């Protein structure tokens, strides 16, 4: 009556899916930083991920990013490779999100 | 005439239930995003409301039975009249308002099923309820899902922190904020595709039972529209009390944890509903937040709060059933009884809203914790008792 197998399946699938997405996204962030393009957000009290920043803030942030990039010991080629890796990681995460949307919209299954 | 009154009342209460459903469940998707500052409170509820609305329109497959087989409806089963549906909805709405008042995340679906079960027992008898289905569809998933989500979130949090060197890697803070925004939106969307449907189903089946719609047809456009907007409006107004509990009081959520928790919730919810048994969004996200709390070194999980939430989950079904049963007992007597139930529910519900006003939680103070002490002393059991 109670389908324990289904629970186990959900648990395993969720574990794998979440691990893949979280680690690829985290690796992407790490590689982005290595590539010298770390996303830097101003230290505002209530930073919003989709806030539009003022030009002055953007300038300060660009300066900080430049400074951070200077400390980077990698060669240009290595940086480029890191960036490619970062975007590949983000692509995996984005595909996972699209697949998720595909799964919940019944229209796609007909 | 009596049938018309009942049908109208059911539709009104169903929409109110839909509203409290959205209101209650904003916290599921958005609490951690608001707590970590990934989204401003208002932005968060707007995104969530829009996605709930979109979800409601994209998925309108209505179940053949109101209760999904929990009550033995249909051919050869019992007749669930609009009056009983009405009574069940009253139980669900009042329980939702009570848990909201105490800031406890509890499953709106369980409240709905609880109310219907109570009404069916009073109206038809114990035999009307398929207890095996109650066990396999409600009790066991409720016990399992928080642990599954918690485990997934625990691992995801550890992974996120490991890879980004305890989030000290350059840019990881803001990077996780973006990621969290997306995964939280996915949870909201999934919620819209699931929860608005339930109310659509209830209204459609009532219309069919009342003879206003042909059997076997899908929800009418105005029903989809009304349900979508009711849940979106509820989501927009936001259950800030519950958001504070989930985002701040279970554990102090940091951005990598928020990202890990939301991603785990989204994965668990999407996979389970794809496999045909949707787990409760509320239980999955609450479990994920606890898991994320355990996954970060030096983070503490407030087990007292977790215990209260667990207690509320256990009480949800019986409490809603009790209110639903009482309402059914009165409502089946006559039209007058029906109206008395409606008025009484309005008074109790309004009373809870007024009580909440004395100690309001809104988008301005959702992340504050200073009045936690005074709230903590209110035992949840007394609330449940008063309600029933």
Of A7, A10, A22, Cβ closest to residue B160: A22
Q: Identify the residue whose tokens are 């206003």.
A: B212
Shortest CB distance from B155 goes to which of A15, A39, A107?
A: A15
Instruction: Kindly report the number of other CB atoms within 10 A of residue B376's CB atom.
Output: 13
| Whether residue A35 has pLDDT greater than 90 | no
- Which residue in the set B40, B172, B179 is minimally distant from A46, CB to CB? B40
Length in residues, chain B: 388
Q: Collapsing DSSP states into helix, strand and coil, what is residue B105?
A: coil
Contacts of B36 (CB under 8 A, 6+ apart): B177, B180, B247, B253, B254, B255, B257, B258
Nearest CA in chain A to B178: A49
Closest to A13 (Cα-Cα) out of B285, B354, B83, B270: B270
pLDDT at B376: 42
Q: Which two tokens stand for residue B150?
A: 């918690």
Compute the distance between CA of residue A67 and CA of residue A72 in angstroms, rounded to an integer.
Answer: 9
Residue in A17, A19, A48 closest to B39 by CB: A48
Nearest Cβ partner for A10 among B153, B155, B268: B268
Q: Under an 8 A CB cutoff, do A39 and B277 touch?
A: no
Map residue B74 onto helix, strand or coil: coil
For B269-322, how does the pLDDT look when each residue is reduced to its tens digit (9 = 90+)? 888 888 777 788 889 999 999 999 998 877 788 898 899 998 888 888 899 999
Nearest residue in chain B measured CA to CA from A39: B171
The shortest C-alpha distance from A5 to chain B (Å) reads 12
d(CA B105, CA B241): 9
Band of the pLDDT at A46, cuts 50, 70, 90? very low
**Residue B310 corresponds to which tokens in the numbers above?**
């667990």
Give the pLDDT of residue A40: 59
How sure is the predictor about A2, in pLDDT bands with cuts at 50, 70 and 90? low
Q: How much is the pTM?
A: 0.83
Structure tokens at A92: 């995996």
Q: What would the mean pLDDT of B113-119 be, rounded to a whole number?
A: 90
pLDDT at A31: 86
Q: Which position has the higher pLDDT, B318 or B193? A: B318
pLDDT of residue B1: 53
- pLDDT at B107 exceeding the cut of 80: yes
Please name the residue ranges forming H helices in chain A: 4-34, 55-70, 76-104
DSSP B136-147: IIIIHHHHHHHH
* SS3 category, A27: helix
CA distance B373 to chain A (A): 25
Whether residue B63 has pLDDT greater than 80: no
Give tens-digit pLDDT for B344-388: 888 988 888 888 888 888 877 877 764 444 444 344 433 333 333
Which residues have CB under 8 Å from B42's CB, separation 6+?
A: B363
Q: Find chain B residues with C-beta within 8 A of A40's C-beta.
A: 170-171, 174
In this predicted structure, what is the pLDDT of residue A43?
47
Q: Which token pair is B319?
A: 């409490």
pLDDT for the residue B74: 62
Q: Which of B326, B209, B87, B41 is nearest to A48 (CA)?
A: B41
The minimal CB distance from B164 to the residues A3, A21, A29 is found for A29
Q: What angle do CA B183, B185, B191 make, to 5 degrees?
A: 110
With beta carbons under 8 A apart, name residues in chain B contacting A3.
136, 277
pLDDT value at position B374?
41
pLDDT of residue B15: 94
Longest dimension (CA), chain B: 69
Instruction: Answer whether residue B23 shows pLDDT above 70.
Output: yes
* Residue B347 or residue A33, greater confidence: B347
Residue at token pair 């459609």: B204
User: Other C-beta atoms within 10 Å of A58: how many?
Assistant: 12
Cβ contact (<8 Å) for A29 and B172? yes
pLDDT-wise least confident of A14-23, B93-102, B159-168, B248-257: B159-168
Name the percent of chain B lying above pLDDT 90.
Answer: 24
Is pLDDT of A71 > 80? no
Whether A47 and B177 lie within 8 Å, measured CB to CB: yes
Residue B185: the pLDDT is 92
Closest alpha carbon to B23 in B325, B233, B284 = B233
Tell me the mean pLDDT in the region B77-101.
87
**Which residues in chain A are contacts of B130 at CB distance < 8 A?**
none
Domain extent listing, chain B? 2-387
Q: Which of B59, B163, B186 sits opposite A26 (nearest CB)?
A: B163
Q: What are the tens digits of pLDDT across the range B135-192?
A: 887 888 888 889 999 999 999 999 888 888 765 666 677 788 888 899 999 999 888 8
Q: What is the mean pLDDT of chain B?
A: 83
- pLDDT value at residue B17: 93
The C-alpha of A2 sits at a distance from chain B's nearest C-alpha, in angstroms, of 5
A8, A18, A57: best to mutate for the B interface, most B CBs within 10 A: A18
Nearest to B136 among A2, A40, A93 (CB): A2
Which segment of B43-47, B168-172, B214-218 scores lowest on mean pLDDT? B168-172
Which residues of chain A have a CB within 8 Å of the CB of B40?
46, 48, 51
The chain A residues in contact with chain B (CB within 8 A) are: 1-3, 6-7, 9-11, 13-15, 17-19, 21-23, 25-30, 32-33, 38-41, 46-51, 68, 93, 97, 100-101, 103-107
User: How close is the nearest chain B Cα to the Cα of A78, in Å?
Assistant: 17
Chain A residues lying within 8 Å of B150, measured CB to CB: none
Top-confidence residue, B277 or B339? B339
Residues of chain A with Cβ-Cβ distance to B164 below 8 Å are 26, 29-30
- Phi, psi angles (nearest 5°) of residue B51: -70, -35
CB contacts of A46 in chain B (<8 Å) are 37, 40
The Cβ-side half-sphere exposure at B319, using a 13 Å CA radius, reads: 28
- For position A53, what pLDDT does the model report? 66
Mean of pLDDT over chain A: 79
pLDDT above 80: residue A61: no
Residues of A in contact with B187 (CB under 8 A): none
A12-27 average pLDDT score: 92
Note the pLDDT of residue A41: 55
As a whole number of angstroms, the distance between CA B238 and CA B240 comes to: 6
pLDDT at residue number B231: 92
Report pLDDT for B14: 93
Using a CB-CB cut-off of 8 Å, the residues of chain B touching A30 are 163-165, 169, 172
Q: How many CB pairs under 8 A join A and B?
A: 161
Q: Is B129 helix (H, G, I), strand (E, B) or coil?
A: strand
User: A5 pLDDT exceeds 70?
Assistant: yes
């Amino acid at each position: 009556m109670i389908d324990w197998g289904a629970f186990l399946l959900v648990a395993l699938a969720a574990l794998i899916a979440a691990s893949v997405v979280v680690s690829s996204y985290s690796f992407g962030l790490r590689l982005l930083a290595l590539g010298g393009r770390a996303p830097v957000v101003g230290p505002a009290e209530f930073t919003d991920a989709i806030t539009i920043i003022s030009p002055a803030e953007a300038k300060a942030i660009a300066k900080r990013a430049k400074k951070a990039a200077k400390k980077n010991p990698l060669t240009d080629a290595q940086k480029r490779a890191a960036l490619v890796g970062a975007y590949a990681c983000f692509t995996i995460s984005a595909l996972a999100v699209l697949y998720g949307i595909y799964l919940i919209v019944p229209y796609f299954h007909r | 005439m009596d049938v018309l009154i009942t049908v109208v009342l059911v539709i009104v209460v169903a929409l109110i239930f839909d509203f409290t459903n959205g209101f209650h469940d904003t916290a599921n998707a958005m609490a951690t995003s608001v707590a970590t500052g990934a989204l401003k409170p208002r932005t968060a509820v707007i995104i969530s409301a829009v996605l709930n609305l979109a979800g409601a329109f994209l998925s309108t497959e209505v179940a053949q039975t109101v209760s999904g087989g929990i009550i033995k409806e249909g051919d050869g089963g019992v007749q669930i009249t609009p009056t009983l549906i009405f009574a069940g909805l009253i139980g669900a709405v009042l329980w939702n308002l009570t848990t909201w008042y105490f800031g406890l995340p509890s499953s709106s679906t369980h409240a709905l099923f609880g109310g219907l079960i109570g009404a069916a027992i009073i109206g038809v008898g114990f035999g009307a309820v398929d207890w095996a289905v109650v066990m396999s569809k409600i009790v066991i998933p409720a016990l399992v899902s928080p642990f599954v989500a918690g485990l997934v979130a625990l691992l995801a949090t550890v992974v996120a922190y490991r890879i980004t060197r305890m989030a000290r890697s350059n840019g990881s803070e803001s990077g996780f904020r973006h990621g969290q925004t997306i995964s939280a939106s996915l949870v909201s969307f999934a919620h819209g595709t699931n929860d608005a449907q339930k109310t659509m189903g209830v209204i459609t089946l009532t219309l069919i039972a009342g003879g206003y719609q042909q059997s076997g047809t899908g929800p009418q456009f105005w029903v989809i529209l009304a349900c979508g907007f009711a849940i979106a409006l509820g989501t927009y107004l936001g259950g800030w009390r519950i958001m504070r509990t989930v985002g701040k009081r279970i554990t102090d959520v940091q951005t990598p944890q928020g990202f890990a928790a939301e991603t785990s919730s989204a994965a668990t919810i999407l996979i389970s509903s794809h496999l045909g048994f949707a787990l409760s969004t509320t239980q999955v996200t609450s479990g994920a937040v606890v898991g994320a709390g355990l996954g970060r070194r030096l983070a503490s999980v407030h087990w007292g709060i977790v215990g209260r939430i667990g207690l509320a989950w256990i009480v949800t079904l019986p409490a809603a059933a009790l209110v639903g049963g009482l309402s059914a007992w009165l409502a089946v007597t006559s039209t007058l009884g029906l109206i008395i139930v409606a008025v009484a529910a309005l008074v109790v519900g309004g009373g809870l809203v007024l009580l909440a006003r004395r100690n309001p939680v809104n988008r301005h103070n959702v992340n504050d914790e200073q009045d936690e002490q005074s709230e903590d002393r209110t035992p949840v059991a007394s609330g449940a008792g008063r309600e029933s």
